[in-house]
Amino acid sequence: MGIFSLVTGWPGSSGFGSASTAEQVAEGIDAGNLTAIITGGASGIGAETARVFALRGAHVIIAARNMEAANDTKQFILKSNPAARVDTLKLDLSSLKSVRSFADKFISMDLPLNILINNAGIMFCPYQLSEDGIEMQFATNHLGHFLLTNLLLEKMKSTARKMGIEGRIVNLSSIAHLHSYDEGIRFDNLSDTDGYSDKKAYGQSKLANILHANELSRRLQEEGANITVNSVHPGLIVTALWRHSFLLMRILKLFTGIFWKNVPQGAATTCYVALHPSIKGVTGKYFFDCNEEKPGMMAREENLGKRLWDFSEKLIKSAQ
């Protein structure tokens, strides 16, 4: 898209750009027959995504760790849209046990599943291990979503077959995927304190989001499943993600303020990739400002994606 488009909001080939909002990209779309899960849908761009999905008629499942915030978001949506269909379910992505519990509860609801938005995440947090003994940013941003997606995949496949509607999975990544560790993914010392960097660990998890989307897309294409998988960069936005780096955020915004988006703009690319008819059949791609872009070189390495897939499966098995 380039700096000019980013600053001015000039639309790209999709007809949308950095200034487009989630409501605008979903305008005129009838999602009344769709059911969507949005992780981290209780706040920030996840909550805006949930609001716009509900506004377009979708049945929205807000998956969140903080149930009070999730229910507040539900009530906020219902206040302006009384006909909205919104449910909340507890999900702590840093806990593989919680991920399994969420999947079991959702499947027991006997609902279809057309769209999965892997939106939730944490950023720049100090070194910490999850309850499963895995570095926290990798555990939350990648591994929890990896397991969740796998547990819900058969439901998505059966929904796509029964309804004849393409399923869509969207992984929220970040331009930070360009700033991971030198080796990309620290397969041999993922959870070590030595050499840990909160910024690079975040970049590593965001690189993993793209690699996961690309490898899953490849596998689904091979078996002919009617499901697409793409990754997106929402842009620079002031949300609770910055809670561990408030000072850094203030400094960055001081010098790069013209590049920052508001929350409705931040949710636009997610809504575009998940709902827009022009994206039908598009899979294994990376989107930025509602337009397809090339991610970094490591994010395009198929062998790295395959290795990450096998590594993730082993991590999950070892944590059981």
74 pLDDT band (50/70/90 cuts)?
very high
- Residue 154 scores a pLDDT above 90: yes
User: In sequence order, what are the beta bridge partners of 59?
Assistant: 35, 85
Q: What value does the mean pLDDT take over residues 203-232?
A: 98
Kindly state the tokens that stand for 7: 């600053």
171 pLDDT band (50/70/90 cuts)?
very high
Q: Of 127, 181, 196, 202, which one is the catalytic site residue?
A: 196
Q: What CATH homologous superfamily does 2-318 map to?
A: NAD(P)-binding Rossmann-like Domain (3.40.50.720)
**Which of 259, 198, 208, 257 lies closest to 231, judged by CA?**
208
Residues 235-261 have pLDDT tens digits of: 876 545 445 445 554 554 444 444 568
Task: Return the pLDDT at 261.
Answer: 87
**Calpha distance 295→252 (Å, rounded):** 22
**pTM assigned to the model:** 0.92
Residues 274-314 have pLDDT tens digits of: 999 999 999 999 999 999 999 999 999 999 999 999 999 99
Q: What is the DSSP letter of 40?
A: T
Between 302-318 and 144-163, two packed helices, what is the crossing angle to 10 degrees? 110
Q: What value does the mean pLDDT take over residues 165-194?
A: 97
Residue 92 phi, psi (nearest 5):
-110, 105
Task: Return the pLDDT at 3.
Answer: 44
The separation between CA 208 and the C-alpha centre of its own chain, rounded to angstroms, equals 12
Is 196 noted as a catalytic residue in this protein?
yes
109 burial via Cβ count (<10 Å: 0-12, 13-18, 19+): exposed
Q: How many residues does this entry show for the chain?
A: 320
Task: Return the pLDDT at 6.
Answer: 47
List the chain domain ranges: 2-318
